[in-house]
Amino acid sequence: MDLLNHLALGFTTAATAVNLFYCLVGVFLGTAIGVLPGLGPVATIAMLLPVTFGLEPVTALIMLAGIFYGAQYGGSTTAILVNLPGESSSVVTALDGYKMARQGRAGIALATAAIASFFAGTACTFLIALAAPPLSEVALQFGPADYFSLMVLGLVASIVLASGSLLHALGMIILGLLLGLIGTDVNSGLPRFSFDLPELADGVNFVVVAMGVFGLGEIIANLHDQSDRSLALTRITSLMPTREDWKRMIAPILRGTALGSALGILPGGGAMLSSFAAYSLEKKVSRHSAEFGKGAIEGVAAPEAANNAGAQASFIPMLTLGIPSNPVMALMIGALIMHGIQPGPSVMTEQPALFWGLVVSMWIGNLFLLVLNLPLIGLWVRMISVPYHLLFPAILVFCAIGVFSLANTQFDVYFMALFGVLGYLFRKLDCEPAPMMLGFILGPMMEEFLRRALLMSKGNPLVFVTRPISAALLVISAVALVAVLLPALRRKREEAFQE
């Protein structure tokens, strides 16, 4: 009955008027910021940190957490409406969400995202309440070799992301891996592909690439062909999912939640992979796999659930071990220290009200998100019917300011322009950017873990098969690779015969 006592403590902490108010403020701010392309939760939380100094620690943390998952949610809205993924997680949401929007089903896509996020958030809150400490112990079992094998699996999954030619999918993945290597090599400290620019010493930020390739690239392409666009948006069907939609989204939401929770607890950056993995999995198992990339509702439901579950689960290593698995969590830890609380294993026992208050507030926050966003859907849908020639300068402005705010440097704005040109080229050549973005995330992590694993094993490559987790992941990768390649090759043969 510990759980009930804990949850009761959490509710009495989180449901005070002050905490509810700041939870709402955080969620609202987060959504607003997430909707603005480019402006992410890291910059926002950093800027708002001083505001929280006057608050109680638990109140401050509730508000900051609200900004975090609010921003995750808001990011999907932009991805669906204007094909602008501001976070790694919403890259895949944009694939089918944006297609749905162009088919006049923007409202349904947004509602699906909201419902999937809410379900995943709720499930994950219970997961944290039930089993945070043992889960964090499990997560610690993942060594460098295991992470490397996980990245291999991610690489296989990235092939599934592409809907066109296999050759171009491979090309874009490798291009992404290479772009991800820009910056200082972790193992040797040597800057690579940086052309002696200190601004490239830490690599290119994901958001810079995404804003350039998706944002600017899309704008340039749309400007060329303005008549098309407004036409596609005239017939907006119902805003809410139909019975059929509901039926199709349930299983993907469940699978996405499970996958997101599992990957999210890994402190070594698993949460970033969750939405990609969920999308790839869904595309493989779905009965509607042919619709993926053309506006499949599963392609929105699964990654959105996985993304929110992963975001929520990344609190587990932060709260139980004091380990940040992403920059937002690092900021949260900074905020805790500034409030005189030392994050770590002792938080749960020494500050139970803080721990359980935060856990419960996450669920309340997710409820706020749902309540806040369902009525807003109509407004958003109307927003994209604004004539494009008036809308696009605003998008461009938010992209530019957002990208600048990442590190307060104009160089990121220049790089965004460069990637905008590249993004337009990709579009013209039918090279899909989504696999490239996953490669971009995987590249540096994969190399880092590979080299660290070999360094620690004194150069023995057998670690990858003797460690059970790693071996299991490699077997799954091999099976998945066969499952991915076979149909593609078969299709190719058929095509050859047809010609």
Which positions from 451 through 480 interact with other proteins, judged by CB under 8 A? Answer: 451-452, 454-456, 458-461
The Cα 328–Cα 313 span in angstroms is 13
Nearest approach in angstroms of CB 65 to other proteins is 15
DSSP 428-458: HTT--HHHHHHHHHHHHHHHHHHHHHHHHTT
Query: Token match 């659930």: residue?
Result: 305
The Cα 23–Cα 28 span in angstroms is 8
Nearer to other proteins (CB atom), residue 53 or residue 246: 53
Interface with other proteins (CB under 8 A), residue from 55, 104, 185, 372: 185
Nearer to other proteins (CB atom), residue 83 or residue 93: 83
Amino acid at the residue 234? T
Q: Among 132, 136, 129, which residue's Cα sits nearest to residue 362?
A: 129
The Cα 319–Cα 310 span in angstroms is 15
Helices 352-383, 57-82: crossing angle, 10 deg rounding: 30
- Residue list 133-152, contact with other proteins (CB under 8 A): 140-144
183 SS3 class: strand
Nearer to other proteins (CB atom), residue 387 or residue 487: 387
Question: Does 405 contact other proteins by CB under 8 A?
Answer: yes
Question: Does 193 contact other proteins by CB under 8 A?
Answer: yes
Question: Does 313 contact other proteins by CB under 8 A?
Answer: no
Distances (CA, A) of 275 to 80, 239, 264, 316: 15, 24, 10, 18
**Sign (positive or negative) of CA dihedral 436, 438, 444, 446:** negative
Structure tokens at 467: 């460690």
Query: Token match 């070799």: residue?
Result: 145
Span of 60-68, 86-94, 424-432, 483-491 interacting with other proteins by CB under 8 A: 424-432
String of contacts with other proteins for each residue 258-297, x by CB under 8 A: ---------xx-----------------------------
Question: Does 55 contact other proteins by CB under 8 A?
Answer: no
Question: Does 493 contact other proteins by CB under 8 A?
Answer: no
Query: Token match 């957490």: residue?
Result: 65
Question: Does 428 contact other proteins by CB under 8 A?
Answer: yes
Question: Does 56 contact other proteins by CB under 8 A?
Answer: no
Nearer to other proteins (CB atom), residue 18 or residue 397: 397
Q: How many CB atoms lie within 10 A of CB 385?
A: 13
Span of 11-19, 178-186, 233-241, 273-281 interacting with other proteins by CB under 8 A: 178-186
String of contacts with other proteins for each residue 330-349, x by CB under 8 A: xxxxxx-xx-x-xxxxx---
Question: Does 409 contact other proteins by CB under 8 A?
Answer: yes
Helix/strand/coil (H, E, C) string of 71-125? Answer: HHHHHHHHHHHHCCCCCCCHHHHHHHHHHHHHHHHHHHHHHHHHHHHHHHHHHHH
Nearer to other proteins (CB atom), residue 278 or residue 413: 413
Nearer to other proteins (CB atom), residue 127 or residue 454: 454
Span of 9-17, 127-135, 410-418, 473-481 interacting with other proteins by CB under 8 A: 410-418
Question: Does 184 contact other proteins by CB under 8 A?
Answer: yes
Q: Among 34, 52, 69, which residue's Cα sits nearest to residue 380?
A: 34
Listed in sequence order, the DSSP H helices in 201-242 are: 206-210, 217-224, 226-232
Q: What angle do CA 358, 362, 367 make, to 5 degrees?
A: 145
Q: What angle do CA 113, 114, 116 make, to 5 degrees?
A: 65
Nearer to other proteins (CB atom), residue 256 or residue 269: 269
Nearest approach in angstroms of CB 110 to other proteins is 23
Distances (CA, A) of 78 to 106, 266, 272, 397: 11, 27, 18, 14
- Residue list 206-265, contact with other proteins (CB under 8 A): 216, 219-221, 223-224, 226
Nearer to other proteins (CB atom), residue 258 or residue 354: 354
Question: Does 442 contact other proteins by CB under 8 A?
Answer: no
- Residue list 150-169, contact with other proteins (CB under 8 A): 167-168
Interface with other proteins (CB under 8 A), residue from 129, 448, 474, 480: 448
Nearer to other proteins (CB atom), residue 5 or residue 226: 226
Interface with other proteins (CB under 8 A), residue from 102, 327, 353, 469: 327
Nearest approach in angstroms of CB 150 to other proteins is 15
Nearer to other proteins (CB atom), residue 330 or residue 476: 330
